[in-house]
Amino acid sequence: MATTKLSRNASIDELYTAARGGNRRALGRLLTLVERGGRDAETIGELANPDAGAAHIVGITGAPGAGKSTLTGRLVVHLAGAGRRPAVLAVDPSSPLTGGAILGDRIRMSDTTEDLTVAPEVGDRTFIRSMATRGHSGGLALAVPLAVRLFDAMGYDPVIIETVGVGQVEVDVVAAADTAVVVMTPGMGDAVQANKAGLLEVADVFVVNKADRPGANDVRRDLDLMLDLSHLTGQDTTDGGDGYRPPIVMCSALEGTGEADVWAAVEAHLISLDERGQRLRRRHHRIRTEVRARMSQALANRIDEAMDSDVGRELVAHVTDGALSPTGASAKLLDALLGPQLEPGLDPRSEPRS
Amino acid sequence: MAGTDLPLRVVLAKLGLDGHDRGIKVVARILRDAGMEVIYLGLRQTTDSIVAAAEQEDADAIGLSMHNAGHMTLGPNMVKALRDAELEIPVIIGGIVPDDDVQPLLDAGIAAVLGPGASAEEVAQTVRDAVSAAV
Amino acid sequence: MDDATGAPRHLPDPDDPQYQAWREAYEAAKLRAVPWETMSGVPVEPIYGDGPYPGQYPYTRGVYPSMYRSRLWTMRMFAGFGTAEDTNARFHDLLRAGGTGLSTAFDMPTLMGRDSDSPWSTGEVGRAGVAVDTMADMEDLYAGIDLGGVSTSMTVSGPAAIVLAMYIGVAEKNGVERSKLAGTIQTDIFKEYQAQKEYIYPPRPSVRVITDMIRFTSAEMPRWHPISISGYHIREAGSTAAQELAFTLANGFAYVEAAMAAGVDVDDFAGRLSFFFNSHSDFFEEIGKFRAARRIWARWMKERYGAKAERSLLCRFHTQTAGVSLTAQQPEINIARVAIQALAGALGGTQSLHTDSYDEALALPTDDAARIALRTQQIVAHETGAGSVIDPLGGAPYVEWMTDEMERQAEAVFAHLDDLGNGSILEGVYAGIENGYFVGEIADAAYRFEREVNSGRRIVVGVNEFTDGDDGDQEILRIDQAVEDYQLKRLEDTKNRRDGEAVASALAAVTAAAEDPTVNVMPPILEAVKAYATLEEVVKAMEQVFGTYVEKAII
């Protein structure tokens, strides 16, 4: 698929143009720069911004072993077969000890279908990228939205983010999608677990995977019950509680049954968002989340710098001497840091520390 | 202002029909423990599927595990497929490769050959060296 | 030496009815005509210690009353490389050198049910075993060998039914009736999903073909062992000894449950199940494992599956030394490893033994290395005295404890699988395959071992200690690219010569049989291979009904 000859030292502009022209290697490279963060990532974001905005962004999450990747693989084959150009961002946890990771979603996606790896008509329309939860500056909250925007700008639609629904950042990432799909399985107490993890509040579509197993109907009933309850108690905040009730779709990704139903429910949700005028609200929410994450990162960098500055060291020394309390020190440092700098027009970016 | 250094990204695969995956799974864990990101493709990959993954994942290196004496055919095939796709990614072969075959494989463009009994440090260092040599 | 009462120590109590029963059975057996004494001339008894004795339930001490005193284990050497003709020549060499059974290794495309001309087969034709595409290759493979007079073992599982059909076809073409054929075909598909990864269809349809094959051989081939339940590959993939034992026997129980569910009486087939274990270097652990295997199998068959026939209770097994233990460094020292592992197999009471060649960590064995390997087990058989006394380590506290410990660990695995399968080991095995239990356990064990070697906590001679002396100069067997070219030509010729319409209609019959679970697939497969349908054609005729298995990734 390499349509443009690409030099090893191609600039970001060149890479971007090549990627827009269908060069997958260039897109692969850009995604790495996005993960790396810093100025290059920002440049890519600026380039992609005007070209993006059309894609349906879908988050897929669920407990480990729920079959998210298998379902994602099936959806990708289904979508490519229907003439779509799906992209997948598969997020896998890194080892907290070494920062290394075994990124297995890619192989798990092809668990049950060789089409993903061997059928050119599927492979050429699809782009799958694995991303580890650590190993890039700013973490997931910064890299994921940028990568999604890049896929979007390249004409991939839908863009699917697949992640284990365990960490808060991951839940946020999925919640910020247009459509959030939560995958459950029978026999693992998943409904309860999902509830604990806060996944029930963010779900737009529930999928009960491995629906051929005993207990699948129990999961459906539990979910129905929880949805009833949240409606009754008025705790249903999904889309402002305006009557959308997440459907529960039964499927067996392993057997390859039900993925068409899952996708139909995902599309129906998007239509419903439009009808209810909620799609824009989702986008606002997504952008708000991203901007907030960028600011948090920038501030964290600022704080690190301040702590390492002469003033910071001096204040810490005063606390050690007993001349100052920790609260007092942090208040002084914050004043010094934020006071004059919250003026409009100031660039809040800062050098990420490496 | 460059971003942070990322961990090395290594695509690991079994090329062809050979199903011996004990070694490659151990290597996957060794590289993870050495702080690398391993994109594990597993069994029954083709040169095309490995190229596709390497492109999309922007791999720094590709590791192939071979136990069925097919390395003299499959190794050079892999190198050619990468060149055809204009990917300059070093390929490292591990598994059972007789000594006499090592030099011909290197001549054919394989970056390194890891024999059985290589220690975890050797495995990780070989990958790092192959990546540095390729840049 | 006598104790205070004057009774001989360590000898069985002559008044023990168990001993008397054993003695009677032993004396009824035909014995080898060799002196039962040590090399220094000390006469030795056939058995020492306590009962239950060999041939007595639960068979911990051996499956037969007289064991190697009647007949040594079969020295079955695995061969297979290059073209069928190359392997045939090696078979003739082995028979001339005193081998008593043939064992056939197939190349990777054959094991995966692919023809030599499939794009997948590139670079692997004839490399790690012999290439078989059609019955014509099988004819070459066994040319000049009286198939009614040898016992053959074929190491193939995924396409086992097709390869067996080809073997029957060759025999019948040479005038040997299928009822006269003796041997074993591996057929163990569970261990493929768990460890060796040479599968074609998903588990359930695979098991359906296997039950068809069991029914077919039960009815028509009384001397044939339709399945060899193989822990060997589980161990090679990195499992512990106890995992090898547990997973293998669990797979055995699963096949028993599958055949019983298909309406076959347990005693009609259980007697022809056989096992295949690995013999690794930790001598006493291995011996404990072999002894525990016999005891567990007998108990479960009797108590859980209600087997009545004694043969159904016997865990008879083939053993191969541990290929994975062989080092590429200082390869000649592997001869010592193989000797120790072979001795463990013999003391563990194996029915047949393959000894690995010292150069197998590098490539397929050379002729010289294969000869040395055979000589190694001949030394164990004829010079060590291991064939004179049955279960000579039985009663040793460490060995008895280890036997119990292996059993305890295995029972814990069975309990887990039984739980997974809601009271069915078969369903538990299916579930364990699907949820990655087996693959995950094996990968963890393999990684643990590697880390121990890596940290130096575990010494592997020549690898992480005592590394001087590796001159790196080693003659190895190379399979020429010409083999692939030859085989492609051979396949093309066969395809040109055959009756295309006959092939097409035979294949259609195979598909039809696959679609109807009440029809046995064996007879139409036999017709198809006799029409020279290729292996892959027959595989695909069923694959369109059964689907293809792609493994769940567990890293």
Chain B residues contacting A via beta carbons under 8 Å: 1-7, 9, 28-29, 31-42, 45-46, 48-49, 52-53, 55-58, 85-88
Write down which residue in A276, A300, A322 finishes a domain: A276
A60 and A152: one domain? Answer: yes
CB contact under 8 A, A103 and B40: yes
- Chain A hits for C552, CB-CB cut-off 8 Å, are 108, 111
- Chain B hits for C362, CB-CB cut-off 8 Å, are 96, 98
The pLDDT of residue C2 is 46
Q: Considering the domain boundaries, does residue A93 fall inside one?
A: yes
The pLDDT of residue A174 is 80
CB contact under 8 A, C550 and A110: yes
The answer to whether residue A332 scores a pLDDT higher than 60 is yes
Looking at the DSSP bridge assignments, the partners of residue A57 are A159
* Cis geometry, peptide bond prior to residue C159 (ω within 30 degrees of 0): no
A45 and A64: one domain? Answer: no
Q: Considering the domain boundaries, does residue A283 fall inside one?
A: no
Pairing of strands A57-62, A179-184: parallel
The pLDDT of residue A232 is 56
The pLDDT of residue A119 is 65
CB pairs under 8 A between A and C: 18
The pLDDT of residue A236 is 47
Alpha helices in C262-332 (DSSP H): 266-269, 283-299, 310-313
Map tokens 């195979």 to a residue.
Answer: C510
Q: Nearest to residue A197, comparing CAs of A215, A175, A213?
A: A175
Domain boundaries, position A90: 53-276
The answer to whether residue A342 scores a pLDDT higher than 50 is no
A259 and A317: one domain? Answer: no
CA distance B89 to B78: 11
Number of domains chain A contains: 3
- Chain A hits for B4, CB-CB cut-off 8 Å, are 36-38, 136-137, 352, 354
Q: Nearest to residue C184, comparing CAs of C242, C224, C217, C220?
A: C224
Report the chain A residue with the minimal C-alpha distance to residue B43.
Answer: A107
φ, ψ at C126 (rounded to 5°): 70, 10
CB contact under 8 A, A100 and B88: no
* Amino acid, res. C208: R
The answer to whether residue A2 scores a pLDDT higher than 70 is no
Report the chain B residue with the minimal C-alpha distance to residue A38.
Answer: B3
φ, ψ at A103 (rounded to 5°): -90, 105
DSSP class of residue A59 equals E
User: What is the nearest CA distance from C80 to chain B, expressed in angstroms?
Assistant: 13
Instruction: Give the CATH number, domain containing residue A74.
Output: 3.40.50.300
- Cα torsion angle, A259, A260, A263, A269, sign: negative
Task: Tell me the domain boundaries of chain C.
Answer: 72-384
- Chain C hits for A65, CB-CB cut-off 8 Å, are 435
The pLDDT of residue C93 is 85
- Chain B hits for A107, CB-CB cut-off 8 Å, are 40-42
- Chain C hits for A104, CB-CB cut-off 8 Å, are 553, 555
Q: Find out whether A140 and A173 touch, Cβ atoms under 8 Å.
A: yes
A58 and A149: one domain? Answer: yes
Q: Which two tokens stand for residue C231?
A: 């822990």
B73 at C interface, C-beta within 8 A = yes
CA atoms within 13 A on the CB side of C316: 22
The correct answer on CATH 1.10.1060.10 for the domain covering C72-384 is: no
Express each pLDDT in B22-34 by its tens digit: 899 999 999 999 9
Closest in A100, A130, A352 to B4, CB measured: A352
Q: Considering the domain boundaries, does residue A6 fall inside one?
A: yes
Q: Which domains does chain B carry?
A: 9-118 (3.40.50.280)
SS (H, E, C) A69-117: HHHHHHHHHHHHHCCCECEEEEEECCCCCCCCEEECHHHHHCCCCCHHH
CB contact under 8 A, A136 and B3: yes
Q: Find out whether A4 and A29 touch, Cβ atoms under 8 Å.
A: no
CA distance A327 to A333: 10
Neighbors of chain B with 3 or more C-beta pairs under 8 Å:
A, C
Pairing of strands B112-114, B91-95: parallel
Q: Find out whether C140 and C84 touch, Cβ atoms under 8 Å.
A: yes
Q: Running along chain C, 555 residues long, what does each successive block of 10 average in pLDDT? A: 61 94 96 95 96 97 97 81 83 80 88 93 87 95 91 92 97 96 94 93 94 92 93 96 98 95 90 95 98 98 97 96 93 96 98 92 83 95 96 97 98 97 96 92 93 91 88 70 90 96 97 96 97 97 91 73
Q: Nearest to residue C289, comparing CAs of C254, C271, C326, C315?
A: C315
Q: Find out whether A152 and A53 touch, Cβ atoms under 8 Å.
A: yes
Q: Considering the domain boundaries, does residue A350 fall inside one?
A: no
Which residue has better confidence, A341 or A189?
Answer: A189
Express each pLDDT in B85-112 by its tens digit: 999 999 999 988 888 899 999 999 999 9
Q: For the sheet containing C352-354, what is the strand order? A: C224-225, C182-185, C151-155, C101-105, C74-79, C352-354, C317-321, C273-279, C227-230
CA distance B26 to C452: 12
Write down which residue in A276, A304, A333 finishes a domain: A276
A3 and A97: one domain? Answer: no
The pLDDT of residue A304 is 85
A75 and A190: one domain? Answer: yes
The pLDDT of residue A179 is 95
Alpha helices in C302-436 (DSSP H): 310-313, 334-347, 367-383, 397-420, 425-434
SS (H, E, C) C224-236: EECEEEECHHHHH
A45 and A58: one domain? Answer: no
User: What is the nearest CA distance from B107 to chain A, expressed in angstroms?
Assistant: 23
How many Å separate Cα C1 from the centre of its chain?
Answer: 42
Q: Considering the domain boundaries, does residue A346 fall inside one?
A: no
CA distance C431 to C250: 13
- Chain C hits for B43, CB-CB cut-off 8 Å, are 197, 551
Helices then strands, each counted (H, E), chain B: 5, 5
A149 and A258: one domain? Answer: yes
Q: Find out whether C194 and C145 touch, Cβ atoms under 8 Å.
A: no
Chain A residues contacting C via beta carbons under 8 Å: 65, 102, 104, 107-108, 110-114, 254
φ, ψ at A132 (rounded to 5°): -90, 155
Residues 261-320 in A contacting B (C-alpha not used; CB under 8 Å)? none
The answer to whether residue B2 scores a pLDDT higher than 50 is no
Closest in A2, A37, A103 to B37, CB measured: A103
CB contact under 8 A, A112 and C550: yes
Q: Find out whether C242 and C406 touch, Cβ atoms under 8 Å.
A: yes
CA distance A207 to A218: 13
- Under the banding of pLDDT at 50, 70 and 90, the label for residue A334 is confident
Query: What are the CA-CA distances from residue C173 to residues A233, C134, C138, C167, C498 (Å)?
Result: 80, 14, 11, 10, 16
Q: Which two tokens stand for residue C369?
A: 């290395």
Which helix (DSSP H) or strand (DSSP E) does residue C256 occupy?
Answer: helix C241-261
A224 and A319: one domain? Answer: no
Closest in A95, A118, A132 to B46, CB measured: A118
A126 and A191: one domain? Answer: yes
Chain C residues contacting A via beta carbons under 8 Å: 434-435, 548, 550-553, 555
DSSP class of residue C64 equals S
* Amino acid, res. A198: G
A128 and A163: one domain? Answer: yes
CA distance C226 to C208: 14
Express each pLDDT in A254-294 by its tens digit: 777 889 999 999 999 999 999 988 888 888 888 888 888 88
A149 and A237: one domain? Answer: yes
Write down which residue in A51, A67, A91 finishes a domain: A51
DSSP labels, C167-187: HHHHHHHTT--GGG-EEEE--
Q: Nearest to residue C374, comparing CAs of C99, C70, C159?
A: C99
Query: What are the CA-CA distances from residue C466 to residues B88, C73, C329, C338, C459 (Å)?
Result: 40, 34, 10, 18, 9
Q: For the sheet containing A159-164, what is the strand order? A: A127-132, A87-92, A159-164, A57-62, A179-184, A205-208, A248-250
Ramachandran class of C221: left when φ > 0, alpha when ψ lies in -120 to 50, beta otherwise: beta
Express each pLDDT in A116-166 by its tens digit: 555 667 778 999 999 988 644 456 778 899 999 999 999 999 999 998 766
The pLDDT of residue C109 is 94
What pTM does this model have?
A: 0.85
**Stretch A181-206: mean pLDDT:** 76
Q: Considering the domain boundaries, does residue A282 fall inside one?
A: no
SS (H, E, C) C326-354: CCCCCHHHHHHHHHHHHHHHHHCCCCEEE
Closest in A8, A36, A101 to B4, CB measured: A36
- Cα torsion angle, C279, C285, C291, C295, sign: negative
